[in-house]
A and B are shown apart, each in its own frame.
Chain A
């Protein structure tokens, strides 16, 4: 399963369409497979990011605020979206892998940073 996180430094980026960096992780249902891949986007924009997500065959997107059109598009493409996440991307990734992440979650790390 491939997970893409839109990131801003150590955190989940506040907005999907404003993200300029993403991390792609793969896991086998229990643990990570291979290394995390970081991609710096040449420009910010939801369209380019959506293309990347589809081309990469992503199964799950973890992000901050996302517009309804893109949310519906991903849902239609059978891509799970956890949006409105606030906190560190490493914590969000762990929770996504363990199946405990929910949309709108404010992670403990959000206050610590």
Chain B
């Protein structure tokens, strides 16, 4: 049976008070069950307060401090506040260092009726501007080439303004990481960083995800949903794949950027927001503007600060640096004996154009480390699809390797320069070849190409290779 405190707290306008505090806050009763959480904690955990009222607190917090509830019970019994450092796993699967302040809540009779838990996000302090000092190196941005140094120089400058940022670059170049680094280096670092993929959701769903809705706005809207703009209040909203945003939504986004307020779906009350926008796309936005697929006014509104991330093939020395970096990382993580690449494997890797950029390079190294049982990664440990890829002859190959040796050993199509085709055409051929090889199985084709299924799906759409919908009883894998 829930007591008076549990049932009356949400009605005491206390939730508005909680929402005004820029830290995650949970109010719990003596049974350690949620009475209320604020919007900030909703953003951190991805849950909606109405869904978790009455749920045991640590199922919502996902912290490492609960000790099966003993920590909270100690505060309840002692009546003394407690401050602890720990971490939580957030809605977007990140482990975030937190300072937890657990304080008793008393009624007028001075009895402890519950606890208030305040979560202070320490990641901005721990992350050391997010450029290479993270404990998890895969979350860092790594590079030594002059082009990446230019990017590193620009990040702090962009962090110190409030203007919108547009990040462009091919898939796998690290747009997400850079957006997060800008947020972490900015004055908004302690506030939410919310990412939404504008290309992954249909228009109506994207609109409700971004702007939220009120109860009864449409069939199935059984409760209010705050939307990403409200969840990112005070922080940064990262709109990835902005080039794929439907035109009608572009109008609404532009309006929010100009006025800093909007109506949720079905709502009659305007919501004011203070959110910085970082947008990213792998598409050529100017061309899309010219083609009438992207609004020119929104383009200029987002493109106040522009950061272009170079593809790996333009980052000269970085390929080798990243190969060694990820080799060390995965070998350590998996306990593999692999210590280095031999000349032949290195030559093949250095000659490969990495169309999937760093994401693909990372996946290839992870594959090698898992396959290789020796100290040295040999050519036989590389993913097979590398051998069906064109091998461009590159003057910058490692000097210790005989350039002609590999061309003779490894069969493969002609080098890129001799085909007379651009990369897109070659990529299309590679996709068709992989799909033919796997008899149309997209998962297996994605494996061969070293991409995720989503990447393959996007590329299939780009190249116009998407087949019409299949009958419902057909396997999803085909």
Contact = CB atoms under 8 A, between A and B. Distances in A.
Interface stretch (B46-54, B160-168, B254-262, B343-351): B46-54
Contacts of A12: 59
B93 A66 contact: yes
A68 B177 CA distance: 14
Nearest to B88: A65
A64 B55 CA distance: 14
B136 A106 contact: no
Nearest to B33: A111
A11 B64 CA distance: 17
Nearest to A85: B59
A11 B59 contact: yes
Interface string A80-107: 0001101000000000000000001010
B54 A65 contact: no
A73 B274 CA distance: 36
B94 to A, nearest CB: 7
A8 B57 CA distance: 13
A28 to B, nearest CB: 18
Nearest to B64: A18
Interface string B58-87: 111111101010000000000000000000
B253 interface: no
Contact of B93 (A8, A83, A86, A110): A83
A84 B55 contact: no
A60 to B, nearest CB: 15
Contact of A67 (B63, B91, B93): B93
Contact of A64 (B51, B62, B94): B62
B62 A104 contact: no
A30 to B, nearest CB: 18
Given A65-B62, A65-B88, A104-B46, A71 B56 contact: no
A69 interface: yes
B95 interface: yes
B59 A64 contact: yes
A113 B32 CA distance: 11
A110 B57 CA distance: 11
A40 to B, nearest CB: 14
Question: Interface range on chain A: under 10, 10 to 19, 20 to 34, or 35 or more?
Answer: 20 to 34
Contacts of A104: 46
A59 to B, nearest CB: 14
A76 B363 CA distance: 10
Contacts of A16: 89
A111 B60 CA distance: 12
A83 B51 CA distance: 17
A14 B59 contact: yes
A15 interface: yes
A83 B89 CA distance: 11
Contacts of A67: 89, 93-95
Most chain A beta-carbon contacts within 10 A, residue among B58, B93, B363: B93
B335 to A, nearest CB: 9
Given A8-B68, A106-B47, A106-B51, A14 B58 contact: yes
A8 B58 CA distance: 11
Nearest to B92: A68
B54 A111 contact: yes
Contacts of A86: 47, 52, 55, 59-60
B3 to A, nearest CB: 16
Interface string A8-41: 1001101111100000000000000000000000
Given A15-B62, A65-B62, A111 B55 contact: yes
A71 B93 CA distance: 8
B62 A14 contact: yes
A84 B52 contact: no
A15 B68 CA distance: 12
- Top 10 A-B pairs ranked by shortest CB distance? A65-B89, A65-B62, A68-B93, A111-B54, A86-B59, A14-B62, A14-B58, A110-B55, A15-B62, A14-B59
29 contacts: A11-B59, A12-B59, A14-B58, A14-B59, A14-B61, A14-B62, A14-B63, A14-B66, A15-B62, A15-B89, A17-B64, A17-B89, A18-B64, A64-B59, A64-B62, A65-B88, A65-B89, A65-B93, A66-B93, A68-B92, A68-B94, A69-B138, A83-B93, A84-B46, A86-B47, A106-B51, A106-B52, A110-B59, A111-B53
Given A17-B64, A67-B94, A113-B56, 8 more contacts: A15-B63, A65-B88, A69-B136, A84-B46, A86-B52, A86-B55, A110-B55, A111-B54
Interface of A: 8, 11-12, 14-18, 64-69, 71, 76, 83-84, 86, 104, 106, 110-111, 113
